[in-house]
Amino acid sequence: MNDKIVLITGATGGIGKAAAIALAKQGFTVVIHGRNLQKTEQVCEEIRTATGNDKIDLIVANLFSLKDVRNMANSFKQKYKRLDVLVNNAGGIMGKDRETTIDGVEKTMAVNLLAPFLLTALLLDILKNSNDGRIINVSSNSHKLNAKPDFDDLSLEKGYNPLRAYGNAKLFLIWITQHLSQTFNQQGIKNITANALHPGAVATNFGVESNLGAVLNFIAKLARPLFKTPEQGADTIVYLATSGEVKHSSGKYFVNRKQASVAEKYYSEKNEKAVWDYCMENTKAFKSPVNLEHPGSK
């Protein structure tokens, strides 16, 4: 009997919901995250009905608020003393005009980078209670196509563009995944891995409500019929959550179940450290005591 516990953010639709259904069919206790209580309850019931698995739970939070992220982690830990798989799936492309959150952070960075960074930090202590803890960060090929970071302006106060912001955030999420893996290695944590993936272009509601500007909106509409189904998009998530083949893989980036290359154009230890420090600085008021740094951290 499978007694593993998975938490999936952004799981009321799209690839998050598809991954939740697939893992529920394998007997996982599945905790889905959503922003709206009524919708999240409805999706819980749909998953129970579709899979015959009653071990479906929910948690509600607005990931644009770091306080909500902290409350979400605390709520989870009050109910569960172990976490086997954390899937940081929630994310999104914002509109053509730059907006900030209640915390004063640019929205793309808040939901695609800072929320998964903080949630992971806050849940590390119970991930350590798993004999096979897995952190899965959903990135994007946009890190190759659209990223153009300015390391003196990580919040894009100048030169904001929704696709550039999204590409940057997804590139930085891969770097954070790599850095986490190195930290685990340096701290002698052998029972947790961290990997990232590109799910492919998927026909979901992702980005549909974003006003990207007339040209990009038109291109996105034309391309949608060519996209993967949510189930196809979720396949690599499910693979990374369950396969014995990747039990000891960490700090890697996967596409279609295979390890893939990461864009190297902007990478340096200095730039990775700038991103790590940006995340640490912007989440420090909400942090748990878990030490994410290692001696002589880059």
Per residue in 18-57, pLDDT tens?
Answer: 999 999 999 999 999 999 999 999 999 999 999 999 999 9
pLDDT in tens, 195-207: 999 987 644 444 4
97 residue type, one letter:
D
Mean pLDDT of 150-166: 94
Measured from the Cβ of residue 201, the count of other Cβ atoms closer than 10 Å reads 17
Query: CA torsion angle for 111, 31, 291, 264 (degrees, to 10)?
Result: -50
Could you tell me which residue, 250 or 96, shows the higher pLDDT?
250
180 residue type, one letter:
L
**Among all chains, which residue has been given the structure tokens 């951290």?**
297
| Average predicted confidence (pLDDT) for the chain | 89
Which of 160, 166, 253, 266 is catalytic? The answer is 166
Report phi then psi at 253, rounded to 5: -125, 130
- DSSP string of 230-282? HHHHHHHHHHHHH-GGGTT--S-EEETTEE-----TT--HHHHHHHHHHHHHH
| Confidence check: pLDDT of 217 > 80 | no
Q: How far apart are CA 106 and CA 156, in angstroms?
A: 8
166 residue type, one letter:
Y
29 - beta bridge partners?
5
Q: How far apart are CA 185 and CA 298, in angstroms?
A: 14
Give the sign of the dihedral formed by CA 212, CA 217, CA 221, CA 226: negative
Q: What tokens appear for 139 in the block?
A: 């990135």
Count, residues in the chain: 298
3-state class (DSSP) for residue 20: helix
Q: Residue ranges per domain, the chain?
A: 5-286
CA 124 to chain centroid, in Å, comes to: 15
Domain covering 5-286 in this structure, CATH number:
3.40.50.720
Could you tell me which residue, 231 or 7, shows the higher pLDDT?
7
Report phi then psi at 188, rounded to 5: 75, 25
Mean pLDDT of 159-180: 96
Q: How far apart are CA 153 and CA 260, in angstroms?
A: 28
Tell me whether residue 153 is exposed, middle or buried, using C-beta atoms within 10 angstroms of its C-beta: 0 to 12, 13 to 18, 19 or more.
exposed
| pTM to 2 decimal places | 0.90
Containing 133, the helix (H) or strand (E) segment is strand 133-138
Mean pLDDT of 232-261: 94
| Confidence check: pLDDT of 69 > 70 | yes
pLDDT in tens, 266-283: 999 999 999 999 999 999
Counting Cα atoms < 13 Å in the Cβ hemisphere of 1 gives: 4
Measured from the Cβ of residue 95, the count of other Cβ atoms closer than 10 Å reads 14
Is 166 a known active-site residue?
Answer: yes
Confidence of residue 2 (pLDDT cuts 50, 70, 90): confident
Could you tell me which residue, 288 or 251, shows the higher pLDDT?
251
Per the CB < 8 A criterion, the answer to whether 248 and 238 are in contact is no
- Provide the pairing of β-strand 258-259 with 253-255: antiparallel
Per the CB < 8 A criterion, the answer to whether 147 and 173 are in contact is no
| Confidence check: pLDDT of 74 > 90 | yes
Mean pLDDT of 86-95: 94
| Confidence check: pLDDT of 221 > 80 | no
